[in-house]
Structure 1
Amino acid sequence: MNRTPGTKPVAVIVGATSKWQSDGRNTRLAHGRTLDDGDLPAGVRWGVGGAIAQKFAQEGFFTVLTTRAAANASALAEAIRAQGGDCMIVELDLVSQDSIAAAFATIRREAGDPEVLVYNAGYLEGRDLPPGQELLEYIPVAMFDTALHIACRGPFLVAREVLPIMRRRGGGSLLFSNNSKSLRGRKRMAGESVYYPRVMMRALAQVLTEEYSEHGVHVANVVIDGTIDSPGTRALPKIRQQPDLAMNPVKIAEAFFYLHTQDRSCWTHELQLTPFSTTPSH
């Protein structure tokens, strides 16, 4: 890279793209094809991760997009650069501790020490389960392992990569993107019981707040309580019928940036975002 580390503050977005983007896994599962997103604004095309990445780049951050495969984020990177922002793509597989360590070594070497890390990695396990086999007794252990890596072990390993320098520097933000399944269990969709590792992510945020706030590190858990607007979710029947149910990822991204810029005299630890047309989860 032709860049001197440290010339801009660094924001790392773990999970910068969406499984509901036009060619995402869940889009293809739900609709059987890749969707045309040419008529959608850039802020919506890559879900929350893409919107957050664009927001921090627009605010002058060098934005690091992490994804399992670089091709997943190439269009997002092009959009950020077209808007005048700076970014790089780093491959990171949350299942592998070695991959996480190598990714952050690359980030520190080529971008610099992160000032902000947004952990937005997500999963929609259970969507492949046949009807009538959504109970825990039918859930494959491999499916649970994926959930554990992404919502529990992954956040722990990623936090270890950024918290030491944030503590020594006396500042920084570690922001977790979570959902309402971290608040309570529900019988709703296929494989719902595989989501309880989300509770552990929320607990980790609580523990890290207790441990690192006094060192100037802002840790927050953001509960995104609803369906996020993106190419794949916009085409779902329930969103077609009730567009107000879709949460605008650009506005979600503004909430994340707001958390990073809060005065330390009044930090928010947990923020819940819910569409006006629904009842908040508790």
Structure 2
Amino acid sequence: MTTTIESTPIGLLTGKVVLITGASRGIGAAAARLFAQEGAAVVLAARSTDAIERLSTAIRAAGGVADAVTVDLADRASIRAAVDRVEELHGRLDGAFNNGAAAQRQVGPLDATAEEDIDEQFTVNFRAHWTAMTAEAALMRRGTGGAIVNTSSIGSRRANPALPAYGAMKRALNSITETAAVSWARDGIRVNGITPGGTATEMIDAWEAATPGIVTQITASIPLGRLAEPHQIAEVAAWLLSDRASYVTGAIVPVDGGAGA
């Protein structure tokens, strides 16, 4: 079965201001569209200025509220400036979906992983999230709290010989997600993570180009028998950011079609 279900918006995020990193494509772009449909005022952040400007224009044309801010996840000052821009635009932050990531450049075993790959994975897939989370939480504390969702990966939950640096930094992200949830609970800030499995995005297309047949291999490992569509991952993030998940914090939620079961 390959049919996916498109949900009907129910106002899940009505009245909320939500920042989305990595919003130019894939899961982030799907989240931007979905969150706006669910009533959020979204601020889209990515390095690709043209892409997020086009997407924010499309969201506004459909009746939503959207702004775009350029961010380089390798630059800590750029990340903090993006959060500052949210405060300038809306005066508060209710939710953040930290979704931006870098793919591991070289697919292969641990002992062949380049030092440059380790450095980039640390910078973008771990440190950037730490920087974003701390800036987001500081702004949320000036309001009434909020919710943060970090995009990790199924590859963080087990050995990852093909993408060892990527898997390691995503596992570290799980750890700081849980730590933040405990540390900031008294501030009214919930922090959760999601671990998508195989998802039909540009990142997996690049992996397929580097390793032909990997999509078939991944699909065979998924009990539901298909890759996720980006909007299906975004649906889970939307719920975690909403008041429907008001008692959920410190969770690392699998969104993998049963592949990790």
What amino acid sits opposite 2:176 in the alignment? L
Is the CA contact (8 Å cut-off) linking 1:167 and 1:212 kept in structure 2? no
Q: CA deviation at 1:186?
A: 2.3
1:195 to 150, 167, 170: 167
Which one of 258, 272, 278 corresponds to residue 239 of structure 2?
Answer: 258
Q: How does 1:40-119 map to 2 (within 5 A)?
A: 46-119=25-98
Asked whether the equivalents of residues 180 and 191 of structure 2 are also in contact (C-alpha less than 8 Å), the reply is yes
Match runs of 1:2-21 below 5 Å: 9-17=16-24
Residue 150, structure 1, aligned to residue 157, structure 2: no
Offset at 1:93? 0.9
8 A contact 2:22–2:98 mirrored in 1: yes
Distance in 1 (CA, whole Å) between partners of 2:61 and 2:225 is 30
8 Å Cα contact 1:126/1:192 also seen in 2: no
Give yes or no for the alignment of 1:280 onto 2:260.
Answer: yes
* TM-score, length of structure 2 as denominator length: 0.80
Distance change (3 Å), C-alpha of 1:104 and 1:167: closer
Alpha carbons of structure 1 residues 142 and 265: separation in structure 2 relative to 1, 3 Å: closer
Partner of 1:176: 150
Structure 1 residues 171 and 142: CA distance shift in structure 2, 3 A:
same
C-alpha contact 1:68 1:92 (8 A) present in aligned 2 = yes
User: How many residues get paired?
Assistant: 237
Equivalents in 1 of 2:115, 2:203: separation in Å?
27
| Mapped pair 1:137 → 2:115 | no
Contact 1:10/1:112, CA 8 A, preserved across alignment = no
Instruction: Name the SS of the counterpart of 1:227 in structure 2.
Output: coil
**Are 1:239 and 1:245, in contact at CA under 8 Å, matched by a contact in 2?**
no
Asked if the contact 2:160/2:167 (under 8 Å) is kept, the reply is no
- Whether the 8 Å CA contact 1:234–1:240 is kept in 2: the answer is no
Q: Which moved more, 1:90-99 or 1:71-80?
A: 71-80
Name 1:228's counterpart in structure 2.
Answer: 199
Letter in 1 for 2:96: L
Mapped partners of 1:168, 1:232: distance in 2: 36
Given the alignment, which residue of 75, 84, 101 partners 1:122? 101
From 237, 243, 246, the equivalent of 2:227 is 246
Q: Which of structures 1 and 2 has the bigger CA Rg?
A: 1
RMSD in angstroms over aligned alpha carbons?
A: 2.7
C-alpha displacement at 1:240, in angstroms?
7.7
